Structure 1
Amino acid sequence: MTARHVITGFSNPTVKRIRSLRDKKHRRREGRFLTEGLRILTEARAAGHVPETLVLSDRADPHPLIDALEQDVFARGGEVIETSVDILEKLSGKSNPQTVLGVFDDLPTSLDAIDRSAAPIWLVAQEIRDPGNLGTMLRTGDAVGAGGLILLGDCTDPFSVEAVRASMGALFTQQIARANGADFLTWLRAGPGQLVGTSLRTDTDYQAPNYMPPVFILTGNEARGLPEDYEAACDLTVRMPMMGKADSLNAAVATAVMAYEVLNQLRRT
């Protein structure tokens, strides 16, 4: 087994490079992203993704999952770094950092890589700006057996530390694609797929239609919802009943409600 590389100084160039991955422009330049926590790293390993660099706290208690991660990283020619909690805090940006961090190569995000027949449900997000919402959508997609999440327009970065953390490892089980609206619609209409948008400008209850897989559930921006041209491109637009004073649900919550309605219909048939 290859030896760990011990780092004790804040000015170490590897520390600086890893810390820079908290910034979007550096992630894009490096083609890598940062992941924190043993649970997420273990989920990534189970999905066949192993970090190229594994960073461990020198105070971490022995754990078989850490041992397994370390062995896999070495087996694939990666690097394992042992460092202090103070340096881990600098890397993660948290005052109480996780004891394990990983640096991964970017995941593919090409729309052409999506196989729509691979799953009956797909999630589509139009200009979702909150990384917590995006990560939660990925987690929902994993929960309902969706194939992945397609990001349209100016969405937040799915590889930000906040989005990765909110996904709880689903980032590694869900395919992710990025596209503009026109390219997505051209791709969608080239094969089977029912596009269902959530909207306040319709009277159709979300439980009324018969959903036909593959179903693409389209959720709009948190503040503005779906633009009218996107709604016009949908096969169906639906709304969820709002019994209180609020006029809409959080975007990630609305996506989850819709995804489970589609899943339940498919389970019954």
Structure 2
Amino acid sequence: MNETVISSLQNPQVKRLVLLQQKSSERRKQGVFVVEGLRELQHCQEAGYQIESVFLCPELAKDTRPSAPHLFTVTPKVYEKIAYRGSTEGVVAVVFDKPLTLNELKLSSSPLLVILERVEKPGNLGAVLRSADAAQADAVIVCDPLTDLHNPNLIRSSIGAIFTVPTVACSSEECIQFLKDRNIQILTAQLQDSHLYYDVDMQQPTAIVMGTEATGLTQQWREAASAHIRIPMLGRLDSLNVSVSAAILLFEAVRQRQIVAL
């Protein structure tokens, strides 16, 4: 492991790291992304990702010394520049990407999947991933994505769940065919022509599909659905945040499956 001390904000490695954090095009071009925080980095390594380099601030990292081919020891001033958030443990890493495809997903005998169509806000996707991890969903599939799966804010808001839950980006057409080929029922969350979510059987192989809060799902998903489901809204508003909706629907599936298991 090569170790280098960095004290200048103008160091090329610092400039590169900041660029990778800010530009999804650079992440794609270089085939890497940035992980900040010890917990997130541990989840990342456990998921089999390879680390390219680590930036470590000894004053913040205490006794932490992650293993990496290249270790850059940075001053608190430099760390303040490269840190996406201020409360991390003094560890930022550059990690090699390894995109997952639909056909590489390893599904259980009765899979539970979350499908998100054109969800744009990284924070929402990160929160959905946390719920998917808690419910032990088989995977999260992001269709026609409007946000980079390795956006720093997504990694931060997921608290590393982007590494604990298999996550795939693909087109809606590919996903619909994938589900139909495997006889996985498609439950689309929508207000129109729908059943209350707790009246629908989620014990069988199930994909819960949600769209954006602004426009909902596109027609192709509505037509592909096995059933349309809704969460009852008792107030004056007619929609919930997508991450809240995902948590409610996921844990209804968990409830139904636990009853069967008892």
Question: Same fold by TM-score, threshold 0.5 exceeded?
Answer: yes
Alignment check: 8 A CA contact 2:38 2:88 kept: no
Matched residue SS, 2:116: strand
2:6 counterpart residue number: 7
> Following the alignment from structure 2 to structure 1, what is the Cα–Cα distance between the partners of residues 83 and 193?
44
Q: Which shows bigger deviation, 251-260 or 204-213?
A: 204-213
1:196 Cα deviation (Å)?
Answer: 0.9
Look up the match of 1:198: 189
Matched, 1:44 2:81: no
Judge conservation of contact 1:194–1:212 (CA < 8 Å) in 2. no
Name the SS of the counterpart of 1:117 in structure 2.
coil
Q: Which position in structure 2 is the counterpart of 1:146?
A: 137
Q: How does 1:170-185 map to 2 (within 5 A)?
A: 170-185=161-176
1:29 is matched with which residue?
A: 29
Task: State the one-letter code of the partner of 1:226.
Answer: L
1:123 matched residue in structure 2: 114
1:36 Cα deviation (Å)?
A: 0.9
RMSD: 1.9
- Asked whether the 8 Å contact 1:56–1:80 carries over to 2, the reply is yes
1:118, distance to aligned residue in structure 2 (A): 6.7
8 Å CA contact 1:119–1:146 kept in 2: the answer is no
Could you tell me how far apart the structure 1 residues matched to 2:255 and 2:24 are? Answer: 38
Tell me how far 1:43 sits from its aligned partner.
2.5
Does 2:51 align with 1:60?
A: no
CA distance in 2, matches of 1:122, 1:162: 23
Q: For residues 175 and 262 of structure 1, what CA distance do their matches in structure 2 show?
A: 18
CA contact (8 A) 2:60 2:89 kept: no
- TM-score for the superposition, normalised by structure 1: 0.89
TM value normalised by structure 2: 0.92
Residue 254 of structure 1, CA deviation = 0.4
Query: Partner residue of 1:100?
Result: 91
Partner of 2:233: 242
- Pairing 1:160-179 to 2, within 5 Å after superposition: 160-179=151-170
Q: Secondary structure at the match of 1:186?
A: helix
Amino acid at match of 1:80: L
State the alpha-carbon separation in 2 of the partners of residues 61 and 172 from structure 1. Answer: 22
Q: Which runs of 5+ in 2 are unaligned?
A: none
Tell me the distance in 1 between the aligned counterparts of 2:195 and 2:105.
30
Residues in 2 aligned to 1:203 and 1:184: alpha-carbon distance in whole angstroms: 22
Q: Percent identity?
A: 28
Select 1:223's aligned residue among 214, 229, 233: 214
1:258 is displaced (CA, Å) by: 0.5
Contact 2:141 2:169 in 1 (8 A): yes
Distance in 2 between residues matched to 1:44 and 1:97, nearest whole Å:
16
Contact 2:127 2:158 in 1 (8 A): yes
CA distance in 1, matches of 2:45, 2:170: 28
Q: What number of residue pairs does the alignment pair up?
A: 259
Letter of the 1:197 counterpart: T
Structure 1 alignment gaps of length 5 or more? none
Would you say 1:16 and 2:15 are equivalent positions?
A: yes
- Quick one: distance in 2 between partners of 1:51 and 1:213? 38
1:116–1:214 contact (8 Å) kept in structure 2: no
- Deviation per residue, 1:133-187 (Å, 9 max, x gap): 0111111111111122111113311100000101101111111111111121122
CA deviation map 1:188-219 (0-9, x unaligned):
21112111111011341000011143211111
